[in-house]
Structure 1
């Protein structure tokens, strides 16, 4: 079996075949991809640095085996298989030899139409999310310099309200705000299908009285109005793509992921996409890919756990938010978080990552077995490893009386039957 390591780039890709022991380059495009298939054997295995691109999708669509190698692993392999020189040829060779010697370092990519659709939807969602964050920061920085009273009067979360953002497209400074009447502002709001609420009117009145004119130039006013317009457009597109994601996820058989506490549309889509586009051998590989499983370094009496950096960082960030939501709506999850922070003295970030690690394990079992989340089944499956306090019972609900534990006694017939196990003392009747 031939192993082909590929070091991809924008315009061309460098390939190394172990069977032929040669390096060759192909252009990025269908002609170059066809040349690759003609050059190597039919049963060749392709190893590429972890990044979904046209080359990987093409090979998967042709039924080829494609394995993804994290970039950090190829960097480590360069120190063993080369003299430290970094070139495209040595990178391609190191990628191929890493899979040959340590195939467990690689994750097998899979070709799934639903997974590819989810991947594209998630990519667009992340694009508009990042754009919204950048535009919010830009808008807040400009207002802090030229119109600081606006953010103070509107409140800390004013960027989450479309009406307060839209007001800046009409009146980007206090001078324009004083010139424009409430009637005219209301007319602009109605034209854009927004409500000019009474609370917003009171805040506008307060701005007209207290705000100071800092002499904002025409160019700065235009820039603030343009940034506010772009932010509103990005938020609309984000809402639109979120509805599309929810529609596609709910009509698929993987909609059971939404039954897991703390999982919303974006988190569920990210988990399902990772599950469908990779072939994980077990839940531990899934946890490693998600970045929730820590790395343990041990030597003698020294032992240290640290965060896994070689993972899907965007997915790890989403799972961090999932853990925050889960501890708010899940009883045992809140208890587990409190146990980590209060009893064990862990930092909140470490406790959230530990909680996310458990939730990822549950999500993997749900997606593999296509079964909805069952809290009773999960708690019973933990057995003696579960926390002493049953966080799902009535005792954990504030304002309820603590119930006394009842001692269970076995019937005589059961005691006689189980005495040979050494659990109950008794004598067998002849």
Structure 2
């Protein structure tokens, strides 16, 4: 493709995205990503952050990051298998395994990396993966990378999962079969039916894989969806992130010792990408201790989530099937969803529109993420803005 052809391709497709309300603008923050943020000099109530417990700005984590940098430097200096493994990496992984009630854990540079690494290290072209149709994009890409057959099952439909698992098993085409699901679905806030999934998996000898990015720090006294259901001994792969409730950056896989040993030997992001830096490792360790010793943080998160959800529902908005603090406000039309988000910004509330391809066409929504840091007064201010704009746009 010549440079002129590339220019035509980019211009035409960007213009098409913009005309359909599918183009996302990026707003740089002037300061920390807290419950209040500043963009272009404007102070806004922040309802778009994954900083669930407010730990991204916690002074204890900041101190931990600074002190680790003084001792270990700003970077790990190498991949983990050469000499990029610091004692902090091992301390974090031991802490994560204890937190998740597993034999071992392995840390990666991001949650996205976890799914790219772990799935393809275990599954290959001779295998099949049963994947919930609403799984996160990183799961979808990890499945594709593995070259395994991908069998999508209807969202949280256990009859469909069981039927497709039986068909895959009886076909005799696959050596291994995995069932993979988000623990908490990030766009709708509903929780996977893990007890039923485990029963099907144990009946049919399926590998179980749970991406708990939005459940860790939120459910199971902070340990996640698997712990919430008491299934720590019955799930093969527990995937988590260090960048949401933990408040820093990175991701991890927790499971049996031999699984973690295999990932250290065969997962490519571990083998070929420079290790997490000290300033990320140390505050992650601090954050896990805070979560375990400060249950009121999680209680406050849930209280704020219930308050906002109830307020939106009383105004007449559709909040879908959320069972967690994630609170979608489903608008539908993509252009109207983008307009709603723009009007919220003008009213002092930062809540981003989420549209296709992140969610199916016609299901555009404002995804609200209340945190432990929000006050009731700030949530009331946000609800007042929703009320005014909803009436203005004839949505309520």
TM-score normalized with structure 1 length: 0.26
* Structure number having the greater helix percentage: 1
* Structure number having the greater strand percentage: 2
Structure with higher RCO (Cα < 8 A, 6+ apart):
2
